[in-house]
Structure 1
Amino acid sequence: MPYQTVFVEFYEQVKLSINQGTFAKLTLAKTIGDTELKNIYVRLHILETGGYKLALTLRYKTEEIESFHTFDEAFTVLSSYLKNPFITALLFNTEMDLTFKINKKNAGSLTEQIPTFKNASPVMLEMLDKGIVKV
């Protein structure tokens, strides 16, 4: 299956984990070759208005750049880094670890593993407490 289609499925799981209050963290990793950009970390950020955005931290060899995006904007930004340079994305939540990978034939795959984190991220828990996300 083309990796773009599988990434849409993966990102729907990200949305589901936020809506269910189980989100811990999201990371893009494993680059093609030696690149300046090493990782992209995605975390939740609560807005003063009561909503939330996704904070994307792009970690380069010498600096980190943080930007804030709506859920849909973050999908577009993260999609632009697939195969350029990242081939793996990892979703960590309290129910499972979900790994998205792109192989050499440009096919995408999803792999579930037992959860690394027993608790959702502190910001996720705060969003639940404040009623920003209702489960």
Structure 2
Amino acid sequence: MTHCDGYRGAALAPAASVASVGVDAEPHAALPDGVLDAIALPAERTRTAALRATDPTVCWDRLLFSAKESVYKAWFPLTGRWLDFSEADIVVDPDGTFAARLLVPGPVLGGTQVTTFPGRFLVDDGLILTAVTLPPTA
């Protein structure tokens, strides 16, 4: 589930198709001062600056925050543990996808340890929407 001003959303899927899902919605606006430094790894800040230079119409900092929120929402039901912002390195691709590489041991699905959480994003109508889904055997 997710919500922000002007948007409410939820996602569900059959357990046979999806091991976990995480969704987030944020206003398409820059993060408040200091928040990016608090939530982003140095490499993420560098990549975010490069994306901003390439396409300044997207609030890449808020998109990174939203992606991290979606990763956490998919992570927690599988592990029951907190995932700090510094424990996943997210690479955002302007094509509408992102990938979070876990920097801590991930959950085991179908006998395989998960090391990456793949996601998608959409920027539209004043919103940033992100989603992560993991198949039952990631």
Settle same-fold status: TM greater than 0.5.
no
The normalised TM-score by structure 1 is 0.28
The normalised TM-score by structure 2 is 0.28
Query: Would you tell me which structure has more strand in proportion to its own residues?
Result: 1
